[in-house]
Chain A
Amino acid sequence: MKPSRLTLAQSDARLGLALVAPVLICLLLLVLYPFVFAVYISFTDRTVGAQVVKFIGFDNFRYIFGQHSFQQSVRNTFILVFFLQAFKLVLGLGIASLLNQAIRGRTFFRGLVLLPWAMPAFVAYLLWKFLYDPTQGGAFNMILGELFGTQLDFLSSKELAMPSVIVASFWRGFPFWVISFLAAMQGISVELYEAAAMDGATAWHRFRHITIPGIQHVVLVITLLSTIWTTNSFENVWLLTQGGPSDATMTFPVLAYFGMQTLRIGEASAVSVAMLPIFTMLAFFAVKLLQKED
């Protein structure tokens, strides 16, 4: 190497850019550019293989907003996310508190809780599809048949399809919450609890005034991150119901995927892009929280 005239700071700056470049190029090309591109094509009449692409303003949005499937998908996505997150939050806190008690077999039960999360999502949902199978072969209907002589259409009846999707998604998703909450709870000093117990605080008071304040940051971060992922989850609905019966469980990622199969990608992008304001808001809060953590 020939002697260089660069100062240490300058050579550091060059090295810094060179080292960050591979990741940065990947992300500029495969995240930022597609992100902008998605917004752009949602304003065009682009189809796969089209020679001429025309800019058509808000036509795609006007069209999809008028579609029953789209209205259903917005409503369903909201219902799915709201109930799923509420269950994961409340039961997650409950299970984490339970596993935080001085009981025998704690380590065993903690390992157990991880199981559904260690399973690939697509496997978990296929498994639940067959637990829900409408025939005697499905586990739940086998049990219902034995006990009550009746059977239920878990995934193909309009009333039961969404609750069934929610339960299956809960099974796969709750371990992440429990483990995160548990880790945060173990960071709280035992002395605080002992002091409170001496002062005669009830279990609820201890939970309300020691546990909750001690873990609230983690709870917020997990809730936000999980809400972003849950809003955009594709596998659960796709593998269980493909959005059916008659759009009863249609969510917007599944609708966008269907849209892409029709090859009218301008329209299909509009479905994703229409959700952008909500996503941006969630991401904004998440970034604030994550950067505060540093």
Chain B
Amino acid sequence: MVTRLTTPQKVLAYSLLILLALFILFPIYFMGITSLKTVRDIYRVPSLLPINPTLQNYEQLIGTWKFLDAIKNSVIVAGLTTIISVFISSLAAYSLVRLKYRFRTWSARLILFSYLTPSSLLFIPLAVIIAQLGLANTHLGLIFVYLTFAAPLSTWLLMGFFRSIPFDLDEQAMVDGATRLGALFRIVLPLSAPGLISCAVFTFTGAWNELLLGLIFITSPELRTVPVQTNYLITGDTVRMGLVMAAAVVSAVPVMVLYFFAQRFVVQGLGAGSVKA
């Protein structure tokens, strides 16, 4: 909030905001109405309005394209990645913030370096390594590679949260007879709940959205995740716009709902984590 605006400035500001809203909303609106149209209507009766709305595309998506299986696969992969990543990252972050040992600085550096290493650099050797481990074309292999982006980000975020919790609280608990781990699980983790939630949201959405690695590691149709299955909708011989837009709606809704409900926790949590320090 800066200074009060004069009337002409207000008119300008609102005009710009309306343009911005159109730029953001028009594509989303188009996705929604196209998903409700038949192929015939899309090309024969071009219109920006929903005409003859039908759920035919959604039925085909679930029937012919077994999209519910893809959703199940994505939930398994993203869910397990989230649980494993948040758990091991909490341990690592606690260790890096609270304990002193020889390789601490190097460990922190490796984590930061990993956070910055893009997957386009790693996907080729990862494919070889995962195959050597016998994990090619398995969900477990995919979960492993997703940890490469999930764990560094979560550890980095949680380190910030843990730092903001006074050391005295840990010590108090240990004077009262708790072990280090007891202090972590009973004091530090509960106080970092917003941080844990935001890590979980980032990890889940990251894994839910990931295409490149999924495309490389999953070869069996029945193991495909949502982005991979959607990719095959557009690389086939005939691309059916209505069907693809229905797939887009189905893939986007869970994540957008998650963001909507978690937004409060994430924003609050991030604010608290960085301000309290």
Interface residues of A (CB under 8 A from B): 9, 12-20, 22-24, 26-35, 37-38, 41, 95, 98, 100-103, 105, 109, 112-116, 118-124, 126-131, 133, 135-137, 139, 142-143, 145, 171, 190, 193-194, 197, 206, 225, 228-229, 231-235, 238-239, 252-253, 256-257, 260, 265, 268-269, 272-273, 275-276, 279, 283, 286-287, 290-291
Contact = CB atoms under 8 A, between A and B. Distances in A.
Contacts of B247: 126
A82 B216 CA distance: 29
A90 B42 CA distance: 37
Contacts, number: 269
Given A109-B17, A109-B21, A190-B1, A137 B92 contact: no
B212 interface: yes
Contact of A268 (B4, B48, B124): B124
B212 A26 contact: no
Interface of B: 1-5, 10, 13-14, 16-17, 20-21, 23-28, 30-31, 34, 42-43, 46-48, 88-89, 91-92, 94-96, 99-104, 107, 109-114, 116-129, 144-145, 147-148, 151-152, 155, 180-181, 205, 208-209, 211-212, 216, 227, 230-231, 234, 241, 244-245, 247-248, 251-252, 255-256, 259-260, 263
Dominant secondary structure of chain A at its interface with chain B: helix
A256 B23 contact: no
B99 A118 contact: no
B254 to A, nearest CB: 9
A34 B101 CA distance: 27
B107 A20 contact: yes
Most chain B CB atoms below 10 A, which of A22, A193, A197: A22
B148 A137 contact: no
20 contacts: A15-B95, A16-B99, A16-B104, A17-B103, A27-B111, A27-B148, A34-B126, A101-B13, A102-B1, A109-B21, A112-B24, A115-B24, A119-B256, A120-B227, A130-B244, A139-B48, A142-B47, A238-B211, A260-B127, A273-B121
A16 B101 contact: yes
A15 B147 contact: no
Contacts of B101: 12-14, 16-17
Most chain B CB atoms below 10 A, which of A33, A103, A121: A103
Contacts of A139: 26-27, 30, 48
A129 B234 contact: yes
B34 A130 contact: yes
B155 A120 contact: no
Contacts of B1: 100-102, 190
Given A120-B251, A239-B234, A13 B100 contact: yes
Nearest to A9: B100
Nearest to B43: A137
Contact of B23 (A15, A19, A143, A171): A171
Contact of B28 (A31, A115, A233): A115
Contacts of B111: 23, 27
Nearest to B130: A30
B21 A23 contact: no
A160 B125 CA distance: 35
A38 B252 contact: no
A232 B245 contact: no
Contacts of B252: 119-120, 123
B122 A34 contact: yes
Given A126-B230, A130-B241, A287 B118 contact: no
A17 B42 CA distance: 60
Contacts of B124: 38, 41, 256, 260, 265, 268-269, 272
Contacts of B205: 120
Nearest to B119: A232
B241 A24 contact: no
A102 B128 CA distance: 55
Contacts of B245: 126-127, 130
A61 B188 CA distance: 50
Contacts of B145: 30
B2 A283 contact: no
Given A122-B211, A234-B211, A30 B91 contact: no
A112 to B, nearest CB: 6
A122 B227 contact: yes
Contact of B100 (A12, A193, A229, A252): A12
A193 B3 contact: yes
Contacts of A190: 1-2
Contacts of B110: 24, 27-28, 31-32
B148 A37 contact: no
Closest CB pairs A-B (n = 3) = A16-B99, A232-B118, A19-B95
Contacts of A129: 234
A223 B225 CA distance: 31
A231 B120 CA distance: 9
Given A12-B180, A190-B1, A31 B24 contact: no
Given A19-B91, A137-B46, A121 B21 contact: no
Given A26-B148, A102-B2, A232 B120 contact: yes
B37 to A, nearest CB: 9
